Amino acid sequence: MNWIRLAAVALNQTPLEWRRNLSHIRHALDGARSAGAAAVCLPELCLTGYGCEDAFLSAATCRRAWRALGEILPATRGLVVSVGLPVLHQNVLFNCAALAVDGRLAGLVAKRHLAGDGVHYEPRWFKPWPTGIRDDHTPPDDACGPGTFPIGDLYFDVGGVRIGFEICEDAWVASRPGATLAAHGIDVIFNPSASHFAFGKVAVRRRFVLEGSRAFGVSYVYANLLGNEAGRVIYDGGALIASEGRIVAQGRRFGFADQEVTVAQVDLDATRMGQARTASLQPRLAEQRPLRVPVPFAWPQTMPGPADATASPAIPTTAAWETGSRIKEEEFARAVALGLFDYLRKSRSHGFVVSLSGGADSSAVSCLVHLALRLALADLGADGVRAALAHIPQLPASADPRAWTAALLTTVYQATANSGPVTRAAARTVADALGARHHEVDVTPLVDGYRRMIESAIGRTLDWTHDDIALQNLQARVRSPGVWAFANLNQALLLCTSNRSEAAVGYATMDGDTSGGLSPLAGIDKAYLRQWLRWLETQGPDGAGPIPALAAVNAQTPTAELRPPEMAQTDEEDLMPYPLLDAVERAAIRDKLAPAEVCAHMRSRFPEFAPARIEVWVKRFFRLWSRNQWKRERYAPSFHLDDENLDPKTWCRWPILSGGFEEDLEVSL
């Protein structure tokens, strides 16, 4: 047996926050060293942060990244460490993993396959490194010592242990670099990643890590980012280490700490003999030396451990909630809660404000703020949360989540003449259950004042028969200045309450319910959101429990309450049934089907509705979708949760002006 101990790290980094990013890396290396690890894989671009956007194209960013690498090298003494940074080589920018060995830079591996779809835009800044090419690089200002360092499609022979790389996207493609590395007799593959959260995505990651370790006959170390790094994208951590086709250690997901270290002990002899038994493996003996970088290193003696490796006792394996039947509900709660908490601390806001109408959307947003604080307190303790939110004065001394919600969440019910007692009571009930500071204000005088002003200007009375949309939106927009004032008074972040279904058809008032600096629900559909609220009412996240007060919300039929009560306004009467709306949206936008194809699918899927009615709804969707792209362009930043996102800045691009499917919709579907 020939044992070494490996570490995979999840880091909560922030773009261009050099001092804090370096501090997180140092603490992670200290943790890995304390756990007995000799080789440590850090996430992709962890020095700069992954989400630097066009700042990657700044010469100052590249120079500062090299300085940061030089500053971290002393902390790698006695270790083998992968550190990610952008590298400008021959006037071309590459996404690189630098391998530091015992306090010195050994070389740079450049990413071969760039992520250029969805939330990723790497080809805008980086170029892919060609297969099988090695060059020499001279860092600026001797940042890591004088001389040149090898760069390219490399692997390292570190004291007799061969280490290769698949950098994030490299492992997601058919022609994985791991196949070539296996032919060079690699022992360990590092995968420094920045793999964003999406529902169900963790299963795909586990598969390629497992398959990489099995097919390539290696120990596979997968590191990832953690938290809301740059505003829109949430990273769930979940570091993995596999050997001989088995997961031998895995880090937790959605943690609130700045770093999570996952450690496992692996047997090099076992993986090497596994390669020897693989008949299909053909060594590339003549091609080894050009890409091989020999580095002296004295590996520490590690006592034999159990065959399934040992994980750091501080890091749990799969959480109970990850094996349950409601994993999507758990993931939604934990992802958005972590996203909100990180947004709060990184934006240095002093809390949150929600215009709480007593309906599903605003109640969900308020509950997610409460869950963010409850889960953070459970993870970090009151002292840890106070340290994370040290910019906020007068934080609670206790660990009571209700006290923290009272300090950091303000809710406002803004009544008009069309508001009813049911929503008023529901808003108060939910706010009381969470512990929020709740206010009730009457904006009817403001609505009436604007109405009289407009009627005076146009010389006639506004009425619901002729001026329906104008009168509805007047109420919705009048609510915005007041709730913004609450946010300004508290130096807090106003949260939008509109969801993805509303975004698809423009069923939201610009400068009304879309007012705010962050839109937590814009990535989730209304049908699922209502399902999630029922789950939260009766069960809730593991360790946090239910919020029974949501019964007052879940019993209602969704309504904007913008028309007079006698008109019995409901969302689904204005639009169409939400389950059908969300199915149409997926078919039309995610799957790119034509209107006639969508109509045929809906008739098959929803036989309870008359075919003629379905045609009306499908045509309504395509018309509303096309004319409301300008609204989606103006939405506040939202969280990416799945591959059905409508955010035009990160996922779903659509022309603001278009033909609007006019020809398709003129005929019968």
CATH of residue 32's domain is: 3.60.110.10
pLDDT at residue 117, rounded to an integer? 84
**Residue 437 and residue 478 share a domain:** yes
Q: CA 643, 644, 646: angle at the middle one, nearest 5?
A: 120
Tell me the per-residue pLDDT of 471-505, one tens digit each, with 9 for 90 and over.
999 999 999 999 999 999 999 999 999 999 999 99
pLDDT at residue 566, rounded to an integer? 85
Q: Are 113 and 98 in contact (CB under 8 A)?
A: no
CB-based burial label for 170 (10 Å; 0-12, 13-18, 19+): buried
Distance, in Å, from the CA atom of 563 to the CA atom of 567, rounded to the nearest integer, reads 6
Strand partners for 8: 41, 262
- Counting Cα atoms < 13 Å in the Cβ hemisphere of 649 gives 17
pLDDT at residue 436, rounded to an integer? 98
Distance, in Å, from the CA atom of 43 to the CA atom of 661, rounded to the nearest integer, reads 44
Q: CA 292, 188, 116: angle at the middle one, nearest 5?
A: 85
Q: Are 415 and 383 in contact (CB under 8 A)?
A: no
pLDDT at residue 661, rounded to an integer? 96
Distance, in Å, from the CA atom of 140 to the CA atom of 89, rounded to the nearest integer, reads 10
**Residue 268 and residue 210 share a domain:** yes
Positive or negative torsion for Cα 387, 388, 390, 394? negative
Q: Are 8 and 239 in contact (CB under 8 A)?
A: yes
Boundary residue ending a domain (318, 342, 363):
318
Q: Per-residue pLDDT for 319 more than 60?
A: yes
Distance, in Å, from the CA atom of 134 to the CA atom of 514, rounded to the nearest integer, reads 51
**Residue 584 and residue 561 share a domain:** no
Give the DSSP letter string of 605-618. H-TTS-HHHHHHHH
**Residue 596 and residue 473 share a domain:** no
Distance, in Å, from the CA atom of 174 to the CA atom of 127, rounded to the nearest integer, reads 19
Question: Any idea what the CATH number is for the domain that residue 657 is in?
Answer: 1.10.10
Domain around 531: 324-571
**Residue 216 and residue 334 share a domain:** no
Q: CB within 8 A of 135, min separation 6: which ones?
A: 89, 90, 150, 151, 152
How confident is the model over 164-188, as a mean pLDDT?
95
Residue type, 319: A
Give the DSSP letter string of 373-392. HHHHHHHHHHHHHHHHTTTS
Distance, in Å, from the CA atom of 559 to the CA atom of 468, rounded to the nearest integer, reads 15
Quote the tokens at residue 341. Answer: 């908490």
Distance, in Å, from the CA atom of 486 to the CA atom of 496, rounded to the nearest integer, reads 14
CA of residue 428 relative to chain centroid, distance: 31
**Residue 499 and residue 388 share a domain:** yes
Distance, in Å, from the CA atom of 410 to the CA atom of 427, rounded to the nearest integer, reads 12
pLDDT at residue 137, rounded to an integer? 96
The string over 381-406, giving b where at least 16 C-beta atoms fall within 10 Å of a residue's C-beta and e elsewhere, is: ebeebeebbeebeeebeeeebbbbbb
End-to-end CA distance of the chain: 69
Residue 209 vs residues 190, 193, 221, 241, 530: alpha-carbon distances, Å: 10, 12, 8, 8, 35
Q: Per-residue pLDDT for 309 more than 70?
A: no
Boundary residue ending a domain (571, 597, 622):
571
- Dihedrals phi, psi of 377, to nearest 5 degrees: -65, -40
Tell me the per-residue pLDDT of 409-456, one tens digit each, with 9 for 90 and over.
999 999 999 999 999 999 999 999 999 999 999 999 999 999 999 999
**Residue 188 and residue 96 share a domain:** yes
Boundary residue ending a domain (262, 292, 318):
318
Strand 219-228 to 240-243 pairing: antiparallel
Distance, in Å, from the CA atom of 4 to the CA atom of 38, rounded to the nearest integer, reads 7
- Dihedrals phi, psi of 152, to nearest 5 degrees: 135, -145
Tell me the per-residue pLDDT of 52-73, one tens digit each, with 9 for 90 and over.
999 999 999 999 999 999 999 9
**Residue 335 and residue 196 share a domain:** no
**Residue 665 and residue 547 share a domain:** no
- What is the total count of domains within the chain? 3
pLDDT at residue 141, rounded to an integer? 82
Tokens 């004319």 — which residue?
627
Q: Are 422 and 555 in contact (CB under 8 A)?
A: no
**587 backbone φψ class: left, alpha, beta (φ>0; ψ -120 to 50):** alpha
- Ranking 169-173, 334-338, 566-570, 590-594 by mean pLDDT, the lowest is 566-570
Tell me the per-residue pLDDT of 607-624, one tens digit each, with 9 for 90 and over.
999 999 999 999 999 999
Tokens 């009627």 — which residue?
455
Q: Are 373 and 401 in contact (CB under 8 A)?
A: yes
Distance, in Å, from the CA atom of 39 to the CA atom of 41, rounded to the nearest integer, reads 7
Distance, in Å, from the CA atom of 102 to the CA atom of 68, rounded to the nearest integer, reads 17
Q: Are 253 and 247 in contact (CB under 8 A)?
A: no
In percent, the amount of the chain with pLDDT more than 90 equals: 87
**Residue 308 and residue 359 share a domain:** no
Distance, in Å, from the CA atom of 203 to the CA atom of 329, rounded to the nearest integer, reads 16
SS (H, E, C) 26-81: HHHHHHHHHCCCCEEECCCCCCCCCCCHHHHHCHHHHHHHHHHHHHHHHHHCCCEE
Q: Which pTM value belongs to this model?
A: 0.94
Q: Per-residue pLDDT for 214 more than 60?
A: yes
Tell me the per-residue pLDDT of 16-54, one tens digit each, with 9 for 90 and over.
999 999 999 999 999 999 999 999 999 999 999 999 999
Q: Per-residue pLDDT for 316 more than 60?
A: no
Quote the tokens at residue 361. Answer: 């959307």
pLDDT at residue 200, rounded to an integer? 93
How confident is the model over 532-552, as a mean pLDDT?
97
Strand partners for 352: 409, 493
Q: Are 481 and 491 in contact (CB under 8 A)?
A: no
**Residue 14 and residue 105 share a domain:** yes
Distance, in Å, from the CA atom of 440 to the CA atom of 106, rounded to the nearest integer, reads 63
Question: Any idea what the CATH number is for the domain that residue 333 is in?
Answer: 3.40.50.620
**Residue 669 and residue 561 share a domain:** no
**188 backbone φψ class: left, alpha, beta (φ>0; ψ -120 to 50):** beta
Q: How many CB atoms lie within 10 A of CB 235?
A: 30
Q: Are 48 and 295 in contact (CB under 8 A)?
A: no
- In 3D, which of 600, 632, 630, 618 has the Cα closest to residue 661? 618
pLDDT at residue 643, rounded to an integer? 86
Rounded to the nearest integer, the mean pLDDT of the chain is 94
pLDDT at residue 167, rounded to an integer? 98
Give the DSSP letter string of 503-542. HHHT-S-TTTTT-SSBBTTTTS-HHHHHHHHHHHHHT-ST
- Dihedrals phi, psi of 311, to nearest 5 degrees: -105, 150
Tell me the per-residue pLDDT of 358-371, one tens digit each, with 9 for 90 and over.
999 999 999 999 99
Rg of the chain over all Cα atoms, to the nearest angstrom:
27
